[in-house]
Amino acid sequence: MHSKLSDKIYVILTGTDPSSKKGGIGFALPGYLAALDTAQISYKSIPTYHPTAVGGKWWWWLRALPKIGGHILTNRFSGRSVILYSHPGAGISLAREGILLALSRLLGAKAVMQLHTLTIDRYLRHPWQRFFFQLAIAPASALGVLTLWWQKRLLGAGIQKKMFVIPNPLPPDWEQRAFSKKVLVRPKDFPLTVLTLARIVPGKGVDLVVEAFAFLPKSVRLIVAGDGDQLNAIKHRASELGIFSRIAFAGWVVDEEKQRLFDQADLFCLPSDYDSFGMIYLEAMANGLPVIALDGGPISDVVPHGRCGLLIKQKDPKQLAEAIRSLMAPDLRQRMGKSGQRWVIDQFSARKVGQSIRSMLEEITNP
């Protein structure tokens, strides 16, 4: 049975195919679907992009156009307000979704663009790129932003659109993990294990984690999971530092293999300055791991310093090593791990984010 709001409003969610689970948006979208379900909002997910499928960039977008138009007209005819809820990336993705928003407005729907990419911060700093960004968001009735930092950043750059803070929700399986007790699947006398998991590219901070291990006791080991352009250089640097034997390079991992690494780890470390939100931090906290990250941009909105982990002020290997040392005490790690699980449930559960989306839709349709 639909709630009263569900009888009045119909949402069309567009963006990366949620089943792809590729990239930050791909991982986040299943959580948005769960959030709409918990808020009892009627919706249809119509993917406009697939990261690996043939024709995923343009054919998926083109074939979505008549589907979106049909759902708008059908639901408007039945008396519902229709809202296109768009989740673009950067560049061409932003342009494609901007066109969808404009077409949906012509058909009588309202439109919300949920901003996800850190590239937007770069757009805001350059006049012509800011003009492109403003053109893409022009058809939007409102913007969804991931954290308060993003809202302040956009307002400070002169973006006057109505904004709502809608964080990425936990996907259902992560939310389930957040209700589980952290249990290490290894002997108690095993060395302290630090996990870093990311695309191994400049800005993600995996190289900084490796550098920090030169200042840590030999009893501490590191698991590096991921792949990317910097991988070979990082392996070479680990050999130069004499710490290669303390590092396990796991490659790109998904599903059960990724979960196995979270189960083996004592803490998660990723001092990235290349994240607009950081879904991986939510996953680590949901798994009961304290997080060490870089205090910059929106990350402090996602990982509370001193409560669920530690935020370092500078990309300095000695400072990072000191943060890892301070979490070698098992009681402190356990306390922060439990606090992290409570935090992600309180702030990023499907129910919590669903309430925020519901409030946004009510305000948009009843100004």
Same domain, 273 and 185: yes
Same domain, 129 and 226: no
pLDDT band of 339, cuts 50, 70, 90: very high
The fraction of the chain above a pLDDT of 90, given in percent, is: 89
Number of domains present in the structure of the chain: 2
Residue-wise pLDDT for 215-227, tens only, equals 999 999 999 999 9
Same domain, 317 and 197: yes
Same domain, 194 and 337: yes
Q: For helices 59-77 and 92-106, what crossing angle results, to 10°?
A: 20
Same domain, 159 and 196: no
Distance of CA 163 to the CA centre of its chain: 18
Q: What range does the domain containing 324 cover?
A: 173-347
pLDDT band of 113, cuts 50, 70, 90: very high
Q: Is the pLDDT of residue 2 over 60?
A: no
Same domain, 218 and 276: yes
> 102: number of CA atoms within 13 Å, CB side?
11
Candidate from 63-72, 184-193, 242-251, 340-349 with smallest mean pLDDT: 184-193
Same domain, 110 and 207: no
Mean pLDDT of 97-111: 97
Residue-wise pLDDT for 14-56, tens only, equals 999 998 876 678 889 999 999 999 999 999 999 999 988 999 9
Same domain, 162 and 303: no
36 or 182: which leads in pLDDT:
36
pLDDT band of 186, cuts 50, 70, 90: low
Same domain, 302 and 360: no
Same domain, 178 and 155: no
Alpha carbon distance 20, 51 (integer Å): 7
The fraction of the chain above a pLDDT of 70, given in percent, is: 95
Residue-wise pLDDT for 241-263, tens only, equals 999 999 999 999 988 999 999 99
Burial of 315 (0-12, 13-18, 19+ CB in 10 A): middle
At residue 185, the pLDDT reads 65
Alpha carbon distance 340, 322 (integer Å): 21
Same domain, 235 and 306: yes
At residue 274, the pLDDT reads 87
At residue 1, the pLDDT reads 38
- SS3 assignment, position 19: helix
Same domain, 30 and 142: yes
Report the candidate in 138, 139, 170 with the shortest Cα–Cα distance to residue 28. Answer: 170
CATH of the domain at 14: 3.40.50.2000
